Amino acid sequence: MKPMTTRGGVPLRLDRDHGWVRIAVACLCALAVCRPAEADPDDYVQDLDISAGQKEIAVIAGAATATPNGAPALEATAVQYEVGITDHILSETYLQFANSTPGSSGGGVDGFTEEGVFRFTDPGKHWADFGAMIEVEHPRVWSQGWYLTLSPMLQTDLGALQVNLDPMVTKIVGGPAYGAATQLGFQYQFKYRTSGPLDYGIQGFGYGKSWAAENIVFNRWNNVGPAIFGSIPLRSGRSIDFDAGLLFGTTNDAPSRTVRAEVVYAFY
C-alpha cells in the first residue's frame, strides 16, 4: 500500500548508532547475493505503510527499451486493488497487461496476482519496521506454471529519508517450460521527504541467478534510477498519490532505459 505523503518533521527511528550499520549491511548483502532474469516495467516497490480499512485503486504503467544483447522492448500495465484488513495485514489483487512491442496492438492480460503483506512491528517501536510479503502469480501462458514469491521486508526512517529493502525468493512450479526454478531478486527505494509538493528519491529493481532442473540460468540484471513522489489530498480522507521513475540498466541483460509511473486513488 502506497503511503500518503507526510510533510513536516519525521522522527528518527534509529536510536542506536549501529542502526545505520545494519541498514548498510542489509543492502550490501542483497546486492551481493542478487547479482544484477526478467522483470516487468510496471514493477513497483512494496512498502509497509498499512492502515486498517484503507482501500486503493491503482494503475501502474511502464515502458522499457530493448536490451544491449537484443531482447525486445516491452510495455506493461497493471490495475490493482488493495485493502488494509488490519493495521498489520494488507491484501492486494491485480491484473497485468503486457505488449512486447511498444505501439503495436495485441498483448492483453499477461497474468493474475494475489498478494499478502504482513507487518510484524508497530511503526516507530524499533530501529526499523519488519514484515513479509507472500505473492502468488500465474502468467497467461499456463505452461509457465505458478510463480510463488516470499519476500522479507525492511522499512526505516533516517531523519527525513525513508528506506525500503525487499529481497525476494521466487519459486516457479508446475511449468514444464522452465521446470522448478528458483530465482533471487530484490527491490529497494530511498525517498527523501521535503517541505515542498514533491519528494525525491531512488528506486532499484533486480534479479540474480536462477537454478532449474534443466540447469537453466535466467538473465541477471539491475535497474536503478531517480524517482519522484507526490500526493494530492482530497476531502473525507481521500487522496491521489503518485510516483514515477526513470531507471537505467547496469548490465547487457537489462533494458537500457525504463520509464515507470503509478497513480493511486486512496479512500476509506
pTM value?
0.79
pLDDT for the residue numbered 3: 36
> pLDDT tens digit string along 241-268?
999 999 999 888 889 999 999 999 999 9
> pLDDT tens digit string along 121-174?
998 889 999 999 999 998 776 677 788 999 999 999 999 999 999 999 988 887
* Domains of the chain in sequence order: 18-267 (2.40.160.40)
> pLDDT tens digit string along 11-65?
344 444 445 445 444 443 433 333 333 467 888 999 999 999 999 999 999 999 9
pLDDT for the residue numbered 103: 55
Q: How far is CA 87 from CA 3, 75, 119, 226, in A?
A: 13, 34, 8, 30
pLDDT for the residue numbered 2: 41
Which positions ≥6 away from 67 have C-beta within 8 Å?
221, 249, 252, 253, 254, 255, 256
